[in-house]
Structure 1
Amino acid sequence: MKIAVFASGTGSNFQAIIDAVSAGELAVEIGLLVCDKQEAKAIERAANHGIPTFVFSPKSYPSKEAFETDILEQLKAHSIDWIFLAGYMRLIGNVLLGSYTGRIVNIHPSLLPSFPGKDAIGQALQAGVKLTGVTIHYVDEGMDTGPVIAQEAVRIDESDTRESLQRKIQATEHRLYIQTIGNLLTGARA
């Protein structure tokens, strides 16, 4: 089984997947990193582990369909079975959704449907809620609207700052994403 990881930034969840594969916790090959930011740390992480990358600049394409067509060609060339988003900050369009129906998964730092989109941690802090969390869901055409696969709550303490809450959420993300990916790829219930 070969997976592609899509990332736009530091790639901490990407690194958690790399570490789980290296440790034998996930019986999968990371066949490709797809990244839309030339300066993303995720690219360095891929290079450090010999993972092929496809880095593109969306602005250099006439449309989303055009860059997704190039991505699709890369996915096919690397025989990718599943796509896992790890901080990829773009909506997936029809080209990829049509070719990977039910095989594109995202992780989001809130208990969806609460706080979709960007800065979910900031949204939770601003709302003053006592619980937030992590959601892993199938990707559809909406923003963080696909069917939920797994969720886990994270308590927000009065002393939490944006940074401390982000660390708590990331610790949960790294564990829950690995477990969920393993379950999806082996056919076990998430």
Structure 2
Amino acid sequence: LHPTVLPSYPGFHGLNNSKYGNTLIIGATCHLVDEGIDTGPVLSVFVMPRRPSLSWTQLEREFANGVMNLHLQTLVWVIDGRVVSTNGKLEVINASYDTLPYVPDLEI
């Protein structure tokens, strides 16, 4: 799990870099680890707008809830054997890829 929407802000301190960077969205990415730094195939993503009306503490709370849901759902897909790799790309069998803030859509 990486605390940004890759490929933005790879490496350590991704969420902190999002805080001080010029970004309109924050989010998280579940990906496989490879030999690079946050360069492995992406399995799932959570995104949310960086709303100026909310404090960073409020955004962090909303972010933490979204990341928890993303992580739990991704683990369920892996445990259920629904994750396949084709030509270096990951896909969840019979998942919907149609809406945000989660791609693929949550099922839990």
Task: Give identity over the alignment, percent.
Answer: 31
CA contact under 8 A between 1:112 and 1:144: conserved in structure 2? yes
**TM-score using structure 2 length:** 0.69
Q: C-alpha distance in 2, partners of 1:150/1:169?
A: 15
2:74 aligned with 1:180:
yes
Q: C-alpha distance in 1, partners of 2:55/2:13?
A: 14
The structure where helix makes up a greater share of residues is: 1
- Which residue, out of 19, 43, 46, partners 1:125? 19
CA contact under 8 A between 1:135 and 1:148: conserved in structure 2? yes
Count of residues in Structure 1 that have an aligned counterpart in Structure 2 = 84
**Structure 2 residue ranges without an equivalent (≥5):** 83-91, 93-103
Shift of 1:143: 1.9
User: Partner of 2:26: helix, strand, or coil?
Assistant: strand
- Provide, for residues 9-62 of structure 1, a one-character-per-residue CA deviation record: whole Å limited to 9, x for no partner: xxxxxxxxxxxxxxxxxxxxxxxxxxxxxxxxxxxxxxxxxxxxxxxxxxxxxx
Residue correspondence of structure 1 range 70-109 to structure 2 within 5 A = 107-109=1-3
Residue correspondence of structure 1 range 1-190 to structure 2 within 5 A = 107-188=1-82, 189=92
Shift of 1:164: 2.4
Tell me what 1:87 maps to.
none
Could you say if the C-alpha distance between residues 153 and 179 of structure 1 is closer, same or farther in structure 2, counting changes exceeding 3 Å?
Answer: same
Larger Rg: 1
CA contact under 8 A between 1:134 and 1:154: conserved in structure 2? no
Q: C-alpha distance in 1, partners of 2:38/2:54?
A: 25
Q: Select between 153-162 and 140-149 the one with higher mean Cα deviation.
A: 153-162
User: Partner of 1:174: helix, strand, or coil?
Assistant: helix
Q: C-alpha distance in 2, partners of 1:143/1:162?
A: 26
CA contact under 8 A between 1:138 and 1:148: conserved in structure 2? yes
CA contact under 8 A between 1:132 and 1:155: conserved in structure 2? yes
What's the Cα RMSD here?
A: 1.6
**Structure 1 residue ranges without an equivalent (≥5):** 1-106
Structure with bigger RCO (C-alpha 8 Å, 6+ apart): 2
- Provide, for residues 112-138 of structure 1, a one-character-per-residue CA deviation record: whole Å limited to 9, x for no partner: 000112221221122221112110000
Q: C-alpha distance in 2, partners of 1:161/1:118?
A: 23
